[in-house]
């Protein structure tokens, strides 16, 4: 997806011009991948622009920073307000928001402590992530030959830029082999997640997803789907998932900020169920999209309003 330039980027508390948000090649982050980040969406809801689960995303950014001993001079609420500020300044709704915390230009060498911490928040236009853009069609995926991060190597609970080198291996292999996305197993061979999505299965009517111990990112969409499923009375279990369960489940789908809820119609060319979106996925999508669009009330207080006139409606 091409990047559509906007006017302003939030940097350490101030709005700067898009073209001024540059880095030196000797910045710590360029050499050692020292960054943590977030991916957030702002929706054009019926009653106005709203950032989805802004506080949870900023809490995860703070958690990722804490794991990497990066001290941020901003609180969670200040970061939420900063997202609102940059979206309002650029007047692009719906949009994707990308907060980044990085180790900048200071000293070279692995020790990161003497390189300054810079916080940026960028927002830009972004549409569908996976597949044709039709939320009910489903995508074809494979199981990756690459494993997800082993425990106690790269922390999977931190959303660090460096983790996405692993994601890139998974994604590239999938694309080269003609798939949209890859599902990675953890080092013990249990199902983990996609390169940028959590994974759910429906087996005998029960919704299953891998627990956080299987090297998955604690996805905010994952959490939202778990909440909605419980409210809808769908049985939910977080459990270790053997690979072969992917092939014999009634339904499989991805969740993520970018992917939202994306059904999977085949894994390794084996049809999931009858190869069409299943009833549980459909029900969850319907409920989730209604809330995102504003057709259903925001009963969970998932949205932070942005004082800006939405330029175009959400298309789902
Ligand atoms: N796993 C990985 C590796 C991801 O990159 C993402 C996207 N942030 C997810 C899961 C889904 O998380 P979320 O629902 O918070 O976007």
CATH of the domain at 249: 3.20.10.10
- Overall average pLDDT of the 280-295 stretch: 97
Question: Is residue 80 in a domain?
Answer: yes
Please report which confidence band the pLDDT of residue 313 belongs to, taking 50, 70 and 90 as the band edges.
very low
Looking at the structure, tell me whether residues 61 and 189 fall in a common domain: no
Looking at the structure, tell me whether residues 149 and 280 fall in a common domain: yes
User: What tens digit of pLDDT does each residue of 146-178 get?
Assistant: 999 999 999 999 999 999 999 999 999 999 999
User: What tens digit of pLDDT does each residue of 206-254 get?
Assistant: 999 999 999 999 999 999 999 999 999 999 999 999 999 999 999 999 9
Looking at the structure, tell me whether residues 108 and 175 fall in a common domain: no
Question: Is residue 119 in a domain?
Answer: yes
Q: How far is CA 6 from CA 13, 52, 272, 315, in A?
A: 18, 21, 41, 21
Ligand 1: residue whose CA is nearest its atom 10: 197
Residues 299 and 271 sit within 8 Å (Cβ to Cβ): no
Please report which confidence band the pLDDT of residue 132 belongs to, taking 50, 70 and 90 as the band edges.
low
CB of 224 sitting under 6 A from ligand 1? no
CB of 198 sitting under 6 A from ligand 1? yes
pLDDT over 70 (residue 43): yes
Catalytic residue among 14, 134, 159, 269, which?
A: 159
Domain boundary pick from 127, 152, 183? 127
For residues 129 and 276, which has the higher predicted lDDT (pLDDT)?
A: 276
| Element containing residue 264 per DSSP (H, E) | strand 260-267
Residue 311: which of 55, 58, 4, 37 has the closest Cα? Answer: 4
Residue 307: which of 84, 108, 140, 129 has the closest Cα? Answer: 84
Please report which confidence band the pLDDT of residue 308 belongs to, taking 50, 70 and 90 as the band edges.
confident
CB of 257 sitting under 6 A from ligand 1? yes
pLDDT over 60 (residue 314): no
Question: In this structure, how many other beta carbons lie within 10 angstroms of the beta carbon of residue 71?
Answer: 7
CB of 39 sitting under 6 A from ligand 1? yes
Write down the pLDDT at residue 131: 60
Write down the pLDDT at residue 1: 75
Q: Within its chain, how far is the Cα of 49 from the centroid?
A: 19
Where in 32-138 does DSSP place strands (E)? 35-37, 40-45, 48-52, 95-103, 117-124
Range of the domain at 79: 8-127
Distance 220 CA to ligand 1 centre (A): 7
- Overall average pLDDT of the 62-89 stretch: 98
Q: Give the count of domains, the chain.
A: 2
For residues 133 and 313, which has the higher predicted lDDT (pLDDT)?
A: 133
Q: How far is CA 66 from CA 7, 61, 149, in A?
A: 31, 9, 19
Q: Is 8 a catalytic residue?
A: no
Distance 27 CA to ligand 1 centre (A): 26
Looking at the structure, tell me whether residues 116 and 150 fall in a common domain: no
Ligand 1: residue whose CA is nearest its atom 3: 196
Ligand 1: residue whose CA is nearest its atom 5: 196
* Residue 43 burial (10 A CB sphere; 0-12, 13-18, 19+): buried
Write down the pLDDT at residue 127: 61
Q: Is the pTM of this model over 0.85?
A: yes
Residue 92: which of 122, 124, 47, 127 has the closest Cα? Answer: 124
Residue 35: which of 125, 123, 112 has the closest Cα? Answer: 112
**Gap between the Cα atoms of 97 and 173, Å rounded:** 27
Question: Is residue 302 in a domain?
Answer: no
CATH (domain of 16): 3.30.470.10
Looking at the structure, tell me whether residues 75 and 152 fall in a common domain: no
Give the number of C-alpha atoms closer than 13 A to the C-alpha of residue 164, restricted to the C-beta side: 13
CB of 221 sitting under 6 A from ligand 1? yes
């Amino acid at each position: 997806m091409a990047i559509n330039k906007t006017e302003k980027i939030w940097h350490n508390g101030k709005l700067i011009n898009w073209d001024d948000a540059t880095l030196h090649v000797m910045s710590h982050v360029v050499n050692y991948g020292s960054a943590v980040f977030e991916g957030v969406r702002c929706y054009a809801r019926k009653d106005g622009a709203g950032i989805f689960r802004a506080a949870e995303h900023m809490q995860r950014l703070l958690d990722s920073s804490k794991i990497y001993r990066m001290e941020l001079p901003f609180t969670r609420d200040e970061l939420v307000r900063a997202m609102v500020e940059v979206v309002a300044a650029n007047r692009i709704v719906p949009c994707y928001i990308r907060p980044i915390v990085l180790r900048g230009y200071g000293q070279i060498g692995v020790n990161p402590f003497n390189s300054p911490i810079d916080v940026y928040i960028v927002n830009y236009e972004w549409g569908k992530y996976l597949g044709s853009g039709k939320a009910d069609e489903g995508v074809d995926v494979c199981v990756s030959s690459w494993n997800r991060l082993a425990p106690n190597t790269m922390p999977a609970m931190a959303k660090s830029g460096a983790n996405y080198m692993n994601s890139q291996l998974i994604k590239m292999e999938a694309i080269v082999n003609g798939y949209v996305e890859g599902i990675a197993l953890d080092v013990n061979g249990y199902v983990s997640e996609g390169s940028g999505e959590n994974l759910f299965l429906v087996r005998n009517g029960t919704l299953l997803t891998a627990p956080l111990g299987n090297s998955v990112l604690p996805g905010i969409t994952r959490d939202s789907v778990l909440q909605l499923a419980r409210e809808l009375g769908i049985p939910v279990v977080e459990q270790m998932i053997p690979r072969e369960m992917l092939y014999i489940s009634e339904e499989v789908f991805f969740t993520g900020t970018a992917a939202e809820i994306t059904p999977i119609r085949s894994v390794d060319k084996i049809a999931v169920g009858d190869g069409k979106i299943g009833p549980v996925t459909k029900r969850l999508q319907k409920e989730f999209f209604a809330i995102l669009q504003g057709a259903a009330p925001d009963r969970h207080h998932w949205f932070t309003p942005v004082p800006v006139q939405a330029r175009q409606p959400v298309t789902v």
